[in-house]
Amino acid sequence: MNDEPDAAPLAEQAERQSGSSAPFYDGSSPGARVMAVANQKGGVGKTTTAVNLGAALADLGHRVLIVDLDPQGNASTGLGIDPRNFDVSMYDVLLHDVALEDCIEATSIKNLFLAPSTLDLAGAEIELVPALSREYRLRRAISAAKEDFDYIFIDCPPSLGLITLNALSAATEVLVPIQCEYYALEGVSQLTRNVELVRSNLNPTLRVSTIVLTMYDARTKLADAVVAEVRSHFGEIVCNNVIPRTVRISEAPSFGEPITVHDPTSRGAIAYRELAKEVSGVAS
To the nearest whole angstrom, how small is the minimum distance from the Cβ of residue 51 to ligand ATP? 8
Contact 9, 160 (CB under 8 A): yes
Indicate whether 249 belongs to the interface with ligand ATP (CB under 6 A). Answer: yes
CB of 202 or CB of 243, closer to ligand ATP: 243
User: How many residues are listed for the chain in this entry?
Assistant: 284
Question: CA torsion sign, 194 to 200 to 204 to 205?
Answer: positive
Indicate whether 46 belongs to the interface with Mg ion (CB under 5 A). Answer: yes
3-state secondary structure of 194: helix
Rounded to 5°, the CA angle 87-165-89 comes to 5
Indicate whether 47 belongs to the interface with Mg ion (CB under 5 A). Answer: yes
The upper half-sphere exposure of residue 80, i.e. CA atoms within 13 Å in the direction of its Cβ, equals: 15
Indicate whether 226 belongs to the interface with ligand ATP (CB under 6 A). Answer: no
Stretch that binds Mg ion, among 23-31, 43-51, 84-92, 162-170 (CB under 5 A): 43-51
Which residues in the chain belong to E strands, given as ranges?
A: 33-37, 64-68, 105-106, 112-115, 151-155, 173-179, 207-214
To the nearest whole angstrom, how small is the minimum distance from the Cβ of residue 89 to Mg ion? 16
CB of 74 or CB of 169, closer to ligand ATP: 74
To the nearest whole angstrom, how small is the minimum distance from the Cβ of residue 54 to ligand ATP? 12
Binder of ligand ATP out of 246, 262, 263, 275 (CB under 6 A):
246
The alpha carbon torsion through 280, 10, 227, 70 (nearest 10 deg) reads 60
What percent of the chain is helix, strand and coil (3-state, nearest 5)?
Answer: 45, 15, 45
Task: Give which of 188, 208, 179 is closest to 47, Cα–Cα.
Answer: 179
What is the x/- site pattern for ligand ATP, positions 58-97, by CB under 6 A? ------------x---x-----------------------
To the nearest whole angstrom, how small is the minimum distance from the Cβ of residue 101 to ligand ATP? 25
Indicate whether 158 belongs to the interface with ligand ATP (CB under 6 A). Answer: yes
Stretch that binds Mg ion, among 23-31, 74-82, 144-152, 200-208 (CB under 5 A): 74-82
**Footprint on this chain of ligand ATP (rule: CB under 6 A):** 42-48, 70, 74, 158, 214-215, 243, 245-246, 249-250, 253, 268
Binding residues vs Mg ion (CB under 5 A): 46-47, 74
